[in-house]
């Protein structure tokens, strides 16, 4: 009697890309709005961006059910934090929490590729980038998801940051102003949607600055 | 882990007054059509309608979970009742948790409803992937019905046009999905409640000349 093999997978890839860019006093987080499975489109209008705290927003691509569960976990932990400390979690604090939450499931991972963006306690933009099991790094810009191989080299070219290995540590945030960074994100997604079948339909941008959070949308090619 | 008795596609769309959902009444046992009167759509509480494809026994188990959920909700006796959004969220958590334990409920669920004038239509898969949209389908319906819906659905469809659109989708599925049967129900849910039609069958046409003697004039083995 042969051992029965599993003929279903607990994971699926629902596609899409996310990008975040940090500036001196703002942070731009963007993601496309398509949800796919294999070569099918499930829906064209699905947000991959989740506001975790007042000045902290996460964009995630990968397996949507895991992404949802992760967002719920973080939102619940944030609520507890607010009850215990009577204040919002800062972006660096949320970054550590996300890393720990991901590593907690090291041996049955959340198939979720995240970029966390927001303002730190001094109001400066910060972006944290993650892999599926929680290893993370504070950077000036990042992209994750199916289009990241197309997007990241372009961002490296336009926003080249000083090496994180330099001493004394140098600032990773981009010198661009907010409008220029938004323009760059739009350009980057327009290019990625030409060649990545999963990064298409609509682009959702979230911009965090001292004034608060605002959302913008841009149409992308839909095929 | 395999499914044994399965139902095929469910198709649903939002229309002017609420949600319309259609599913046929077949329960296949592999390639045999074992059961021909399976009701794959059921009302849940006051505001929701659940349709399921996949393993029928798992669907029945889900109905038992939902019975208990609605019972406890009613026992609060506080004038509030679970709406479709809440039921959909509950189902998503149930499906995802079973997937986490590597013992999934082998279903694709469609949850539609209306509460306080707000229409809601969502779906959950067996591994917990969920979303809401103006029209959804499971299984083969994703391949055959959704392209038709993307082309022809618009806001504020009338009841007649909604039914016509659903029947168009179900007819295509009948022609092309080998596990479809020509005995279906269409369900409607509005602010006033759920109505599930009596089973009926679609008119089909098999006399297209292109399909008569299709190999005539073909060269070679094709």
Segment A116-140, tens digit of pLDDT: 999 999 999 999 999 999 999 999 9
**What is the structure's pLDDT at B214?**
75
CA dist B126 and B135 (Å) reads 19
| B100–A10 CB contact, under 8 Å | yes
What Cα–Cα distance (Å) separates residue A188 from each residue in A62, A143, A169, B129?
19, 10, 28, 28
B27 located within any domain: yes
**Furthest-apart CA atoms within chain A: distance in Å:** 67
pLDDT (average), residues B149-168: 96
Neighbour tally for A99: CB within 10 Å: 20
Phi, psi of A169, deg, nearest 5? -60, 135
pLDDT (average), residues A142-160: 93
Partnered with residue A154 across adjacent β-strands are none
| Structure tokens given for B134 | 């103006």
Q: Is A86 helix (H, G, I), strand (E, B) or coil?
A: coil
**What is the structure's pLDDT at A5?**
67
**What is the structure's pLDDT at B91?**
98
Would you tell me the crossing angle of helices B159-176 and B140-152 to the nearest 10 degrees?
A: 140
Partnered with residue A144 across adjacent β-strands are A18
Q: Which residue has the higher pLDDT, A220 or A170?
A: A220
Q: Does B127 touch chain A (CB under 8 A)?
A: yes
How is residue A196 annotated by DSSP?
-
The model's pLDDT over A18-48, given as tens digits with 9 standing for 90+, comes to 999 999 999 999 999 999 999 999 999 999 9
Q: Where are the beta strands (DSSP E) in A54-176?
A: 56-62, 112-119, 125-130, 136-139, 141-145
Q: In which domain, by residue range, is B152 found?
A: 5-212
For A181, counting Cβ atoms within 10 Å of its Cβ (0-12 exposed, 13-18 middle, 19+ buried), the class is buried
B220 located within any domain: no
Percentage of chain B exceeding pLDDT 70: 99
Spatial CA neighbour of A16 closest among A67, A71, A70: A67
| A6–B99 CB contact, under 8 Å | no
CA dist A193 and B103 (Å) reads 37
How is residue A39 annotated by DSSP?
T
| Structure tokens given for A223 | 């095929």
pLDDT band at residue B176 under the 50/70/90 scheme: very high
Cβ-nearest to B128 among A7, A46, A65 = A65
pLDDT band at residue A170 under the 50/70/90 scheme: confident
Query: Quick check: A202 and A215 in contact, CB under 8 A?
Result: no
pLDDT band at residue A76 under the 50/70/90 scheme: very high
Q: Does B89 touch chain A (CB under 8 A)?
A: no
- Reply yes or no on whether the pLDDT at A72 is more than 90: yes
Q: What's the number of domains chain B is made of?
A: 1
pLDDT (average), residues A49-65: 95
Query: Quick check: A129 and A102 in contact, CB under 8 A?
Result: no
Query: Quick check: B84 and B115 in contact, CB under 8 A?
Result: yes
CA dist B95 and B91 (Å) reads 6
Neighbour tally for B186: CB within 10 Å: 22
Which domains can be identified in chain A, with CATH numbers? 17-220 (3.60.20.10)
**What is the structure's pLDDT at B217?**
74
Residue holding tokens 């109001």?
A123
What Cα–Cα distance (Å) separates residue B64 from each residue in B57, B58, B59, B71?
11, 10, 9, 11
Q: Is B106 helix (H, G, I), strand (E, B) or coil?
A: coil
Peptide bond into A221 cis (omega under 30): no
pLDDT (average), residues B143-164: 96
Question: How much is the pTM?
Answer: 0.91
| A10–B99 CB contact, under 8 Å | yes
Number of residues that this document lists for chain B = 222
The model's pLDDT over B187-215, given as tens digits with 9 standing for 90+, comes to 999 999 999 999 999 999 988 887 787 77
- Reply yes or no on whether the pLDDT at A111 is more than 80: yes
B60 located within any domain: yes
Alpha helix segments (H runs only) across A116-169: 148-159
Query: Quick check: A108 and A76 in contact, CB under 8 A?
Result: no
- Reply yes or no on whether the pLDDT at A83 is more than 90: yes
The DSSP element (H or E) to which A209 belongs, if any, is: strand A202-209
Mean pLDDT score of chain B, rounded to an integer? 94
CA dist B102 and B159 (Å) reads 41
**What is the structure's pLDDT at A32?**
94
Q: Does A46 touch chain B (CB under 8 A)?
A: yes
Mutation target among A35, A68, A110 for the B interface, most CBs of B within 10 A: A68
B61 located within any domain: yes
**β-pairing, A49-53 with A56-62?**
antiparallel
Q: Does B97 touch chain A (CB under 8 A)?
A: no
- Reply yes or no on whether the pLDDT at B222 is more than 60: no
B12 located within any domain: yes
Q: Does B131 touch chain A (CB under 8 A)?
A: yes
**What is the structure's pLDDT at A6?**
66
**What is the structure's pLDDT at A163?**
78
What ipTM was estimated for this complex? 0.88
B221 located within any domain: no
**What is the structure's pLDDT at A223?**
83
Q: Where are the beta strands (DSSP E) in chain B?
A: 5-7, 10-15, 18-24, 27-29, 32-35, 41-44, 48-55, 107-115, 118-124, 130-132, 135-137, 184-190, 193-196
Q: Is B23 helix (H, G, I), strand (E, B) or coil?
A: strand
B26 located within any domain: yes
SS (H, E, C) B182-199: CCEEEEEEECCEEEECCC
pLDDT band at residue A190 under the 50/70/90 scheme: very high
CA dist B106 and B104 (Å) reads 6
Q: Is A19 helix (H, G, I), strand (E, B) or coil?
A: strand
**Furthest-apart CA atoms within chain B: distance in Å:** 74
Cβ-nearest to A42 among B102, B127, B131 = B131
CATH number at residue B95: 3.60.20.10
């Amino acid at each position: 009697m042969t051992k029965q093999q599993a003929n279903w997978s607990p994971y699926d890839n629902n596609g899409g890309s996310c990008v975040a860019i940090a500036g001196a006093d703002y942070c731009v987080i963007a993601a496309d709005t398509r949800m796919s499975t294999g070569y099918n489109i499930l829906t064209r209008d699905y947000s991959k961006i989740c506001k975790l705290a007042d000045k902290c927003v996460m964009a995630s691509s990968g397996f949507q059910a895991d992404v949802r569960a992760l967002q719920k976990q973080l939102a619940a932990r944030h609520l507890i934090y607010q009850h215990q400390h009577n204040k919002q979690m800062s972006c660096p604090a949320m970054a550590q929490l996300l890393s720990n939450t991901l590593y907690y499931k090291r041996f049955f991972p959340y198939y979720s590729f995240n970029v966390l963006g927001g303002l730190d306690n001094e109001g400066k933009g910060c972006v944290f980038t993650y892999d599926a099991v929680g290893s993370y790094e504070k950077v000036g810009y990042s992209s994750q998801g199916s289009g990241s191989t197309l997007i990241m080299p372009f961002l490296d070219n336009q926003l080249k940051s000083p090496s994180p290995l330099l001493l004394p540590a140098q600032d990773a945030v981009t010198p661009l102003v907010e409008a220029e960074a938004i323009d760059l994100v739009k350009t980057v997604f327009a290019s990625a949607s030409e060649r990545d079948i999963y990064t298409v339909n609509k682009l959702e941008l979230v911009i965090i600055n001292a004034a608060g959070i605002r959302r913008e949308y841009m149409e992308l090619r839909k095929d | 882990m395999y499914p044994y008795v399965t139902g095929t596609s469910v198709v649903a769309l939002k229309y002017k007054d609420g949600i319309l959902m259609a599913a046929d009444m077949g329960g296949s046992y592999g390639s045999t059509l074992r059961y021909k009167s399976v009701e794959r759509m059921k009302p849940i509480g006051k505001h929701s309608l659940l349709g399921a494809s996949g393993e029928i026994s798992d669907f029945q188990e889900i109905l038992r979970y939902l019975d208990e959920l609605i019972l406890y909700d009613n026992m609060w006796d506080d004038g509030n009742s679970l709406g479709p959004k809440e039921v959909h969220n509950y189902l998503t958590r149930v499906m995802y948790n079973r997937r986490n334990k590597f013992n999934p409920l082998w279903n694709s669920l469609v949850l539609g409803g209306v509460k306080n004038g707000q229409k809601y239509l969502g779906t959950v898969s067996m591994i917990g992937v969920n979303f809401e949209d103006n029209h959804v389908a499971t299984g083969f319906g994703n391949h055959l019905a959704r392209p038709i819906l993307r082309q022809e659905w618009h806001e504020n469809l009338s009841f007649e046009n909604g039914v016509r659109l659903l029947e168009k989708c179900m007819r295509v599925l009948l022609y092309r999905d080998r596990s479809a049967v020509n005995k279906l129900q269409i369900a409607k849910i509005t602010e006033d409640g759920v109505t599930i039609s009596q089973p009926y069958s679609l008119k089909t046409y098999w006399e297209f000349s292109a399909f008569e003697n299709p190999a005539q004039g073909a060269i070679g083995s094709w």
